[in-house]
Amino acid sequence: MEHYHMNLTLKVWRQKNSQTPGNFETYNVNDVSSEMSFLEMFDVLNERLISEGKEPVTFDHDCREGICGACSMVIDGRAHGPWGGTTTCQLHMRAFKNGDTIVVEPFRANAFPVIKDLMVDRSAFDRIIQAGGFISVNTGNAVDGNAIPIDKDDADKAFAAAACIGCGACVAACKNSSAMLFVSAKVSHLALLPQGKPEEKQRALQMITQMDKEGFGGCTNTYACEAECPKEISVMNIARLNRQFLKASIEEE
């Protein structure tokens, strides 16, 4: 792939904290390499802002290899940028060309309040997990992981669902700020396996109750979440969650 340099105009959302209103600031970033990642481009901008004595742009990041789920950002209206199946840290500047203007916003949802600039508080996801996204295991000797035979198809589906990194792009992309894709992935990856069966009813009911309590919207099946998910989690997991919720509603007293 051809290596080139570009000059860009960035419109970046700046917000002091969740209590103060934010606004866009415009920055010119010159001589950006096409081989940089999007976050490295922000590193360059921040180095410059620091050397100028200005406040750098705050953004979430950790592993920078697409597995931690820390990076966020809505880039030109797209969660994690224009590429499919990637996180912001995996988005490279070759997705842009010289002279582009790029609008960068935080993940926007009432349930994800802005901490600062592009960094949002996604602890609502943690509380949904705490409500039922686990299996209970007795203490004692470790059980042989392969002692229970598991259908290959179920194991594959569970594994695909477990690929969810909990980044929140589904919420950011959804017109209703719904967390259904996240919750459905977490429910599916446990409910498809025998170890997850004993608690499946409580899990579906409690995680949905917590999801509603956190202020996420309801699902209207636009499937924007699936289109934006960096791990390409399927909306068929949402169908499974709906099935589990309905079954649990009918059976549980």
Q: What share of the chain is helix, strand, coil (3-state, %, to 5)?
A: 40, 15, 45
3-state secondary structure of 123: helix
222 binds other proteins (CB under 8 A): yes
Q: For residues 157 and 184, give the distance between their C-alpha atoms in angstroms, rounded to a whole number.
A: 12
**What is the DSSP annotation of 147-179?**
SS---HHHHHHHHHHHT-----HHHHH-TT-B-
Q: Return the residue of 72, 88, 90, 244 that touches other proteins, per CB under 8 A.
A: 244
Taking CB under 8 A as the criterion, which residues in 152-171 touch other proteins? none
Q: Which stretch binds other proteins (CB under 8 A): 2-10, 37-45, 56-64, 216-224?
A: 216-224
Taking CB under 8 A as the criterion, which residues in 132-151 touch other proteins? none
Distance in Å, CB of 215 to other proteins, minimum: 6
Q: For residues 135 and 203, give the distance between their C-alpha atoms in angstroms, rounded to a whole number.
A: 9
Binding mask 96-135 for other proteins (x = CB under 8 A): -------x-x--xxxx------------------------
Place of tokens 């600031």: 25
Sign of the torsion formed by the C-alpha atoms of 70, 59, 51 and 19: negative
3-state secondary structure of 20: coil
Complex with other proteins: residue 44 or 248, whichever CB lies closer: 248
Instruction: Compute and round to an integer the Cα radius of gyration of the chain.
Output: 20
Q: Which stretch binds other proteins (CB under 8 A): 1-9, 46-54, 88-96, 223-231?
A: 223-231
The 10 Å Cβ neighbour count of residue 253 is 2
Complex with other proteins: residue 27 or 223, whichever CB lies closer: 223
Distance in Å, CB of 137 to other proteins, minimum: 25
Binding mask 45-84 for other proteins (x = CB under 8 A): -----------------------------x-xxxx-----
Taking CB under 8 A as the criterion, which residues in 16-45 touch other proteins? 22, 24
Read off φ and ψ for residue 166, nearest 5 degrees.
65, 35
Q: For residues 246 and 48, give the distance between their C-alpha atoms in angstroms, rounded to a whole number.
A: 54
Q: Return the residue of 47, 156, 221, 232 that touches other proteins, per CB under 8 A.
A: 221
Complex with other proteins: residue 92 or 240, whichever CB lies closer: 240
Task: Please state the length of the chain.
Answer: 253
Q: Are strands 114-116 and 119-120 parallel, antiparallel or unpaired?
A: antiparallel
227 binds other proteins (CB under 8 A): yes
Complex with other proteins: residue 8 or 74, whichever CB lies closer: 74
Chain contacts with other proteins (rule: CB under 8 A):
11, 22, 24, 74, 76-79, 103, 105, 108-111, 173, 175-178, 205, 208-209, 211-212, 215-224, 227-228, 234-236, 238-246, 248-249, 252
